[in-house]
């Protein structure tokens, strides 16, 4: 048994001997892939959904960096959703709400801690680029916009990988869930666009 554990790198803490436990530590991947698959299967994922999703994902990273609490990345998901819905309820485009609150987060982060400023500025720049491209995807014709929105979301998966590997800004579980979601939904929508042409 010890030789097998040494050869495979799997120990009791990883759930060896308990098949159901081996996958438990991958719950974020299952969650991200599951939500993306559900959106694709039901047809609920369109150009605007993906544009909002990509922008909200970058906003969540910005929120966690600005407030200096990695676990807030998870809390920021429903908060970003509320910002999107609230913006539209008062007659503003969703991207105005996310942009304005993103700016507030940036100011709070700068005032909160000059030590983590480089991480904060990286998140703010990433949010600006992702949200800008997402809005551009909505301005283009539907086919090109869908492809661009898919590319923006899929490329955010690279951001997720960097944060997961470095274990910074957001919790690893969020980066992992976001990676599965971004990659499957982004590439899935590109495939839908290409197959529908």
Question: What's the pLDDT tens digit per position in 113-146?
Answer: 766 789 999 999 999 999 999 999 999 999 999 9
- The pLDDT value recorded for residue 20 is 60
For the chain, what is the domain count?
Answer: 1
Q: Is residue 174 part of a domain?
A: yes
- The pLDDT value recorded for residue 46 is 86
Q: Is residue 74 part of a domain?
A: yes
Q: Is residue 42 part of a domain?
A: no
Confidence of residue 189 (pLDDT cuts 50, 70, 90): very high
What is the spatial distance between Cα 34 and Cα 18, in angstroms, rounded to a whole number? 23
Q: Is residue 156 part of a domain?
A: yes
Find the domain containing 109 and state its range: 47-195
**Quick one: which of 40, 64, 45 has its CA closest to 173?**
64
pTM: 0.85
- Where b means 16+ CB within 10 Å and e means fewer, 118-140 reads ebbebbbebbbebbebbbebbee
pLDDT of 186 over the 80 cut:
yes
């Amino acid at each position: 048994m010890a030789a097998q554990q040494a050869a495979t790198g799997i120990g009791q803490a990883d759930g060896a001997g308990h098949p159901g436990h081996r996958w438990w530590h991958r719950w974020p991947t299952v969650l991200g892939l599951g939500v993306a698959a559900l959106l694709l299967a039901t047809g609920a994922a369109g150009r605007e959904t993906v544009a909002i999703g990509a922008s909200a994902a970058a906003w969540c990273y910005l929120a966690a960096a600005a407030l200096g609490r990695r676990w807030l990345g998870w809390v920021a998901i429903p908060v970003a959703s509320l910002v999107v819905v609230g913006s539209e309820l008062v007659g503003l485009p969703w991207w105005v709400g996310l942009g304005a609150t993103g700016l507030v987060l940036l100011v709070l982060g700068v005032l909160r801690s000059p030590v983590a400023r480089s991480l904060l500025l990286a998140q703010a720049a990433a949010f600006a680029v992702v949200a800008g491209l997402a809005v551009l995807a909505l301005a283009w014709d539907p086919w090109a916009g869908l492809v661009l929105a898919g590319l923006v979301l899929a490329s955010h998966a690279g951001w997720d990988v960097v944060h997961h590997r470095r274990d910074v800004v957001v919790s690893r579980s969020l980066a992992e869930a976001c990676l599965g979601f971004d990659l499957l939904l982004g590439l899935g929508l590109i495939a839908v666009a290409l197959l529908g042409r």
